[in-house]
Amino acid sequence: MYASSEGLSTVAIESDAIGGQAGASSMIRNYLGFPRGISGMRLTQRARSQAIRFGTRFFTGWPATGITAGTDGGPHRLHTDGGDVLARCVVVGTGVTYRRLGVASLEELVGNGVHYGAAMSVAPELVGQDVIVVGGGNSAGQAAVHLARYARSVMIVIRRPDLTATMSTYLINEIEYNPRITVCGDCEVVDGGAGEDAHLAWVELRHLDTGEPERREVRALCLLIGAEPQSGWLPSEVLREDRGFILTGRDLPAEAWHGDRPPADLETSVPGVFANGDIRSGSMKRVASATGEGATAVSLVHAHLAGLD
């Protein structure tokens, strides 16, 4: 929408359905301009029709499979199984996929006390509340430590007996010494439900060693059970960090710069290829930030085009 409304000839390539993760959210409550929230599907459908009005052409069902970078300022070639697209600039926003918990009653409460990968930004809303974090990796540990600065109690729920196989020792130590954090090993989340305000109110756990259920009153359930950046299709010239998130701007090592300055803020190691949203290393993992970065990328595209012959 931002690219075509700023006069750029724009093609959007989507492997699946328009909307991405936002389209999967039953209610987005923190997007500017919607004080009562809006369903992710409605928000993304509106965005799509707005983009079409400005002239964006959409191709859905075609995963991008690669980019052959242009040389000497020539266009980049974006590959799909349905054919190639030549483009002076490419903005990569292929996001992440989160492993789902698979408990239907809790999936319905996503955005209403149940959060995938958003523990950092919801923490300030949880002062004095009880919270469960599901996951045993470093991102779950960091989320628990951060949440414990606000919440009254944070319980980490993991299927394994303890955290030793999956979390760094420094985080395990920090968790052990934090009186607000407990770890429930050999345990899984099996059910949950809302209170009168339609917000998560309780979660049912099952202790795998005894089969015993346990019901806990909680205000938030943060699910950190694995996020996979969708960057495997990119060529090696587009540098990524260890986990696969795309490096941009000053985060790129000096060897990857073209000239004596770092690339522009959202620019990757390939000139004219930009990254926005969740796929970008260091991004905030919110709808508003992904959208804002998309808008910012457009001015960088214009600057890049102005520098070409």
What is the side-by-side order of every strand in the sheet holding 200-207? 187-194, 200-207, 213-217
From 3-11, 45-53, 170-178, 281-289, give the range in contact with ligand FAD by CB under 6 A: 281-289
User: Which CB, 60 or 164, lies closer to ligand FAD?
Assistant: 60
Told to check if 113 binds ligand FAD by CB under 6 A, we report: no
Told to check if 25 binds ligand FAD by CB under 6 A, we report: yes
How many amino acids of this chain bind ligand FAD (CB under 6 A)? 32
User: Which CB, 151 or 290, lies closer to ligand FAD?
Assistant: 290
Helices (H) and strands (E) in the chain, counts: 8, 17
Give me the residue label for tokens 């345990």. 187
Q: Judge contact between 287 and 41, C-beta under 8 A.
A: no
Query: DSSP assignment, residue 279?
Result: G
The helix or strand, by DSSP H or E, that contains position 57, with its residue range, turns out to be strand 57-60
Among 30, 68, 105, 296, binds ligand FAD (CB under 6 A): 30
Per CB under 6 A, contacts with ligand FAD among 59-98 are 63-64, 93-96, 98
- CB 13 to ligand FAD: min, Å: 5
Among 277, 298, 300, 304, binds ligand FAD (CB under 6 A): 277
With H, G, I as helix, E, B as strand and everything else as coil, classify residue 73. Answer: coil
Q: Judge contact between 233 and 244, C-beta under 8 A.
A: no
Distance CA 122, CA 250 (A): 28
- Chain residues binding ligand FAD by CB under 6 A are 13-16, 20-22, 24-25, 28-30, 63-64, 93-96, 98, 110-111, 116, 230, 233, 277-279, 285-288, 290
